[in-house]
Amino acid sequence: GEDVEQSLFLSVREGDSSVINCTYTDSSSTYLYWYKQEPGAGLQLLTYIFSNMDMKQDQRLTVLLNKKDKHLSLRIADTQTGDSAIYFCAEMGNSGYALNFGKGTSLLVTP
């Protein structure tokens, strides 16, 4: 299938901003998602963006989409220790219903 790539680890200090990046290869992707997974838990949808949008902001979360470069980013402002988790980027192609996930970025927030 098509690839979704993410860096594996990110460490930030509490109060700083975190930026998690994702690249994808399927140019027909219509929906792009960010999910959060805490230890031992399922995947919680954080936010999503349609492919005809460049940016979406939701409280501390900002999603930027560069469709030309097939690059998606998630910015978390004022990162808190409770934000420590694994963040997954996922895309849904134009004709499919299933999600294609990246391997996840493990975010560690230190005091």
Partner 1 sequence: DAGVIQSPRHEVTEMGQEVTLRCKPISGHDYLFWYRQTMMRGLELLIYFNNNVPIDDSGMPEDRFSAKMPNASFSTLKIQPSEPRDSAVYFCASSFGRNIQYFGAGTRLSVL
Task: Using CB under 8 A, list all residues that contact partner 1.
Answer: 31, 33, 35, 40-45, 48, 88, 92, 97-99, 101-104
Q: Which is nearer to partner 1, 80 or 94 (CB)?
A: 94
Chain length of the chain: 111
CB of 67 to partner 1, least distance (A): 19
CB of 3 to partner 1, least distance (A): 11
CB 93 within 8 A of CB 28: yes
Q: Which is nearer to partner 1, 39 or 82 (CB)?
A: 39
Strand ranges inside 1-104, DSSP E: 4-6, 9-13, 18-24, 31-37, 43-50, 55-58, 61-66, 71-76, 85-92, 100-101
Give the whole-angstrom CA distance, residue 107 versus residue 81: 10
CB of 42 to partner 1, least distance (A): 4
Q: Which is nearer to partner 1, 66 or 94 (CB)?
A: 94
